[in-house]
Amino acid sequence: MTLHVPALTADALLAEARECADGLLAAWADRLGDEIGGPQGEALAYALRTPGKRVRAALVLAAYRAVGGTSPAIAGVAAAVETVHAYSLVHDDLPCMDDDDLRRGRPTTHRRFGVPTATTVGFLMVPIAARVLASAARALELPPATLGRMAAGLFQAGGVEGMVGGQWLDLEAEGRTLTLPQLIEVHRGKTGALIRASCTVGAMAGEADPAGVKALTAYGEEVGLAFQIADDVLDCTATSEELGKTAGRDAQLAKSTYVGLLGVAGARREARRLAARAVEHLGQAGLPSTALGALAGYIADRQS
């Protein structure tokens, strides 16, 4: 029998998350690429296989373990969240949104396969995420009601109350200067909601009680905003090579950012403050987690 030793540093957890999410996503890419066939099948496999940092997957794993979960089948839940994230990147890069050429160090899906195929594939990935989640819930032997709560948590976060709503506000705000509360609303929706949901569904998969789910969700809310603040900082301090996507895009698109409102040092301070608050939620709920503490620190100070 192999003894499973949970990863405790951010680097180790991210490496583990990459290994298990990438493996599952590659298997789904092979299966669905064949099922769908043609350029759409090829483009879908491309979008599912592009290598990401897998921060959301790592949060799912760490949240699950923080509430006592031990099954390796949690990797399927991580893959489901990463599928929603991957769809959002395909659509975010389209000419009608952020119009970008480079993602994860490769040409964006529409640059490689054309706008109509990339648009179709992005839409296809949403029901695929539901299939991946349902398959993971079966492997984890979760009751149907738990799967229902997880699906609601994940897809509400991806919808108008979260990612779509935030992106919509973000597009509308191009060329205007937002106030800090307005910017927080955009960031919490566009980026924060899915990161928060990663923690929520990880806790639910671990069959946490309502207080546990609430604490992990509160942690996710803080690190979700911190993640986008760090993104604002990196957009103007890192290179395209370091980021694997085009640097300086916020300024080109005249977007309001934390850096614009607080400066680089002020934005970094705010990200660290939120990361510390995230960890406090866990302590207050009696759910301290070395792994989630490490991930919060990584998210606030990340270099790519």
User: Which residues of the shown chain bind ligand GRG in the complex (CB under 6 A)?
Assistant: 52-53, 55, 85, 88-89, 91-92, 97, 104, 163-164, 167-168, 190-191, 228, 231
Least Å distance, CB 190 to ligand GRG, is 5
Cβ count near 176 (within 10 Å): 10
* CB of residue 227 to ligand GRG, shortest distance in Å: 7
Q: Which residue is nearest to ligand GRG (CB)?
A: 52
Instruction: Give first-to-last CA distance, the chain, whole Å.
Output: 37
Are 13 and 33 contacting, i.e. CB atoms less than 8 angstroms apart? no
Burial of 303 (0-12, 13-18, 19+ CB in 10 A): exposed
85/281 with CB nearer ligand GRG: 85
Q: How far apart are CA 176 and CA 230, in angstroms?
A: 21
Q: Quick one: 21 or 215, whose CB is closer to ligand GRG?
A: 21
Q: What is the nearest approach in angstroms of ligand GRG to the Cβ of residue 167?
A: 4
Based on CB atoms, which residue is closest to ligand GRG, 120 or 228? 228
Closer residue to ligand GRG in complex, CB, 92/185? 92
- Which one, 211 or 254, has the nearer CB to ligand GRG? 254
Least separation in angstroms between residue 36's CB and ligand GRG is 21
On the CB side of 37, how many CA atoms lie within 13 Å of its CA? 1
| Residue closest to 63 by CA, chosen among 194, 176, 180, 219 | 219
Q: Give the shortest CB-255-to-ligand GRG separation in angstroms.
A: 11
Which residues pair with residue 103 across a beta bridge? 106
